[in-house]
A = this chain, B = another copy of it.
């Protein structure tokens, strides 16, 4: 089917490529025109203005917006709303806050425009592996878009069927899912990322123990000089902790077991933060999800004010002057 894609960053461009690969007709637009031209060269229909973009689309129009969450998405949706007509569909495929989805969907509904929120997982691997899609919005609109979702999703692949699902039917088994009403797609994707942070942190802490297992401070009998690359590799087979993140870890450690090529300065995006806020609103204890987020906050500072305050208190009660060793 025909679809317009606005926002041609890495994720947006790859989504266009995967859709074209599966025979869909893509009309593309981007703030900076070079990316438009590149995809035109790969077979997409190029638009040089939002106006042209909208006119190139057949009614009811389907527009996939793939722009950064926050102001950029807000602006894009607002601009689109001025050009679109009743029955048209805006899909926000970015990482929006689910409460923004609810607000936007309501505003658009007043104009008869449909809104769908899609949480998209898969990163740079999605072009080839397919994207795991978590979808929110009205069921009848979602089902209109089924050809799109089916093409973007990974499909069954060679992943074995889950025992117990013999009598359950769901698109979940081919990699996309209508999760619920407006915002539900981004809500599920949000928690997905919250979990992702904690999974990453679990491996990271464990390997930090390995990395320091040869410390001079330990008793000599209990020191180990471990090969972290081999450990990550052996766990890929038959162990309980096998995962895709472990596969990636094994790649990174195979290249450089000291990881000296990485800064350790770790960003976080909105989803990790919103996950904790949602948990707090529900009174759900989320100890590891929070700890994983805080580790990232900490990683970006040389010293926190909190640490200076600890130094100050120690000095005041004990005369301990903290110094770099």
Contact = CB atoms under 8 A, between A and B. Distances in A.
Interface string A196-217: 1011111111111111110101
Nearest to A225: B180
A263 interface: yes
Chain A contact-residue range equals 35 or more
Nearest to A162: B250
Given A233-B173, A303-B263, A102 B222 contact: yes
A218 interface: yes
Identical copies of this chain, number: 4
Interface in A42-99: 98-99
B205 A312 contact: no
Contacts of A234: 132-134, 170-172, 175-177
A320 B130 contact: no
Q: Which of A131, A171, A294 has the most CB of B within 10 A?
A: A294
Given A298-B298, A300-B325, A309-B249, A130 B212 contact: no
A195 interface: yes
Contacts of A262: 308-309, 311-312, 315, 322
Nearest to A290: B290
